[in-house]
Amino acid sequence: MDNSIYALLGISEKVCALGEKVLSGLWERFLQIDEIAAFNQAKVLHAMQKNRVSAECLSGTPGYGHDDKGRDTLEKVYADVFHTEAALVRPALTCGTHALATALSAILLPGDELLSPVGKPYDTLEEVIGIRKSPCSLAEYGVSYRQVDLLPDGGFDYDNIAKAINEKTKLVTIQRSKGYQMRPSFSVGSIGELIAFVKNIKPEVTVMVDNCYGEFTEKLEPSDVGADMVVGSLIKNPGGGLAPIGGYIAGKQKCIDRCHYRLTAPGIGQDVGASLSVMVNLYQGFFLSPNVTAGALKGAIFAANLYESLGFRCVPDANESRHDIIQSIELGSRERMEAFCLGIQSAAPIDSFVTPVPYPIPGYSDEVIMAAGAFVQGSSIELSADGPIKEPYAIYFQGGLTWHHAKIGILMSLQKLYERGLISL
C-alpha cells in the first residue's frame, strides 16, 4: 500500500511499516468477520422486508405520537432480528444506562433481589442499583443486590451462583461486554450455558443481558439462547453511526409491556412516544450496522495484534475470538493513556484539534479520559477510546464507522506514543 497519504495525517513511515507488517497476517480473520456481516445483513434485510417497511415509515410524528407507523414497525423489525416476541425502540431512551435502568425498574419490585453472576456491573449502573448511594436507585426502593465474582480465569463460578439464587431472586443480569474491567467478554454460547444453569435452578427468574457493544459480532444474539430481555444503545452497534439517540429492549411480551409502562406511564405504555424526525436515521443505521460493526471488529483485532507485538497486555489477546467490539490495552501509565487518546482524537473527523484530558463524569467514581471526535456526541460505534485513570491504566478502544478509519486511529495512537518517547519501535 502507498502510505504517503498517511504522512499528511502525521503518521510516520516507521509506524506505517509496523502497521503493514501486522496487517499482513490478518486478512484470513477479516474474511471470517465479513462472512458474519453478510449473514447479519441478510437477517436485517429480511426483517425489514417481512414487516413491509415503506417510505411512510420514515416520516415520523410529533406530539403524542399516536398511530406512529414508523415507530411501531421499527419495533417489529427489532423483534424479528432478535427473535423475540416484542421490542421497545425509542429515542426517549437517552443512552444504554437509561435503557438498562428502565428494564430493571420495570421488573424489580420492593423486596426483590437482583443477582449479577458475572461480577460487578459497569460503573454507571452502580448508582442505578445502589451499590453507590444515589437518589432513586433500586436500593432506595427496596430492591437488594447480590453478585458472584468471576473465577480467576474469567469463567463463571457455578457453585457460588447456585448458592446465591434464593427465594428473593427476581432478575439475573448478565453484562456481555467487559466494561472497565480486564476480563473476557462473553460469547453468546457461554451466555446460553449460564442462562440454562440459572433457569434449571429457578425457571421463573427473569434473565436480562446487557448487550451493549455485542450486537452483530456473532450470528446469534443472547435472545436466541434463552435471555428474556436483551438491552442496548442505538449510539453503539445497532445505530450504525447514524442514530442520533436512543436505546432498545427486546424480549418477551410481558417484559416489554412492563418496560413500556415504566418508560411512559402506567396505563399508557407503547401507544405514545413521538418518533419526531429521527426515523430515517434509526432505520438506515440499523440496516448498515452489520457492516459498521464488522469494520469496528477489524479495528479491534488490528489494535490487539499491533500493541501485543510491542509487549502490551491486550484483552482479548491477538488471537482470541471476538464477542464485542471493545479492545482493552493495558498501557501501564497515565501518560500513555493520555498519548493514546490524543492519537485517537487527532484521527477524528470532528474536533481533531482538541486535547483529551481526564475529568470527573457523572456516573463514574474515578476521573475518566475520553477521546471521541464523533458526528454523534458519545457515539462509541464511532472511533473512540476511554478509560478510568487508575491502575492498571487500561484504555478501552472501540468503533470506527469504517475499517479504514479504525486503522488510521490505531496508527495515530501509536504515533503519539512514539513521539512522546513512551514506546520504542
Cα–Cα dist 308/100, whole Å? 34
N- to C-terminal Cα distance for the chain?
20
**Per-residue model confidence (pLDDT) at position 4:** 84
> Which pTM does this prediction carry?
0.95
Q: What is the pLDDT of residue 1?
A: 64
What CATH number has the domain bearing residue 275?
3.40.640.10
Task: Count the Cβ atoms, other than its own, within 10 Å of residue 121.
Answer: 22
The pLDDT score that the predictor gives to residue 361 is 81
- Confirm whether 102 is domain-assigned: yes
In which domain, by residue range, is 176 found? 59-286
Share of the chain above pLDDT 90, in %: 94
If one compares 2 and 278, the residue with the highest pLDDT of the two is: 278
List of residues 6+ apart from 415 with CB closer than 8 A: 10, 11, 12, 15, 343
Per residue in 285-299, pLDDT (tens digit) is 999 999 999 999 999
Residues 121/111, Cβ–Cβ less than 8 Å: no
User: What is the per-residue pLDDT for 276?
Assistant: 93
Give tens-digit pLDDT for 230-272: 999 999 999 999 999 999 999 999 999 999 999 999 999 988 9
pLDDT given for residue 362 in this prediction: 78
382-391 mean pLDDT: 95
C-alpha cell at 414: 501509536
Q: Residue range 115-130: average pLDDT?
A: 95
Residues 134 and 255 in one domain: yes
Answer positive or negative: Cα dihedral of 283, 237, 251, 85: positive
- Asked if the structure places residue 53 within a domain, the reply is no
* Averaged pLDDT, 104-124: 96
pLDDT band, very low/low/confident/very high, at 171 (cuts 50, 70, 90):
very high
State the pairing for strand pair 247-251/229-233. Answer: antiparallel
Q: What is the pLDDT of residues 312-367, one digit of tens each?
A: 999 999 999 999 999 999 999 999 999 999 999 999 999 999 999 999 887 777 89
CATH number at residue 311: 3.90.1150.60
Number of compact structural domains in the chain = 2
Does any domain span residue 190? yes
pLDDT of residue 410: 98
Residue 111 has pLDDT above 80, yes or no: yes
Q: Which three cell numbers stand for residue 308?
A: 501485543
- Does residue 327 sit in the same domain as residue 414? yes
Count how many residues are written for the chain.
425
Residue 239 to residue 219: CA distance in whole angstroms: 18
Query: What mean pLDDT, rounded, does the chain reach?
Result: 96
Q: Is residue 147 part of a domain?
A: yes
Residues 6+ apart with CB under 8 A from 210: 96, 100, 121, 122, 173, 174, 175, 176, 177, 231, 232
